[in-house]
Amino acid sequence: MRRDLLKTATYGLMHVSVAFTIAYLLTGSWTLATGLALIEPGVQTVAFFLHERAWKRVGDGPAATA
């Protein structure tokens, strides 16, 4: 469990770092890059949740016949 939490934390840190770097390279603004780097992961989390919900509605599809 502790390893999972550490992996999750480091992945989150990496996500924010990548978002910040790309935003800064595109805008040249530290302020805008910081804002985008903090907002984007939150938006991505909500998008992932909605994506998962949509896939649950679709289900597994028809059962395979052998």
Non-local CB neighbours of 44 within 8 Å, separated by 6+ positions: 15
The tally of domains found in the chain comes to 1
Residues 47, 26 contacting (CB under 8 angstroms): no
List per-residue pLDDT tens for the chain, 66 residues long.
899 989 988 988 999 999 999 999 999 999 999 999 999 988 988 898 899 999 989 877 776 666
What pLDDT shows up at residue 8?
Answer: 85
> Is 30 a domain residue?
yes
> Is 64 a domain residue?
no
Instruction: At 9, list the tokens.
Output: 């934390």
> Is 65 a domain residue?
no
Whole-model pTM over 0.75? no
The range of the structural domain enclosing residue 19 comes to: 2-57
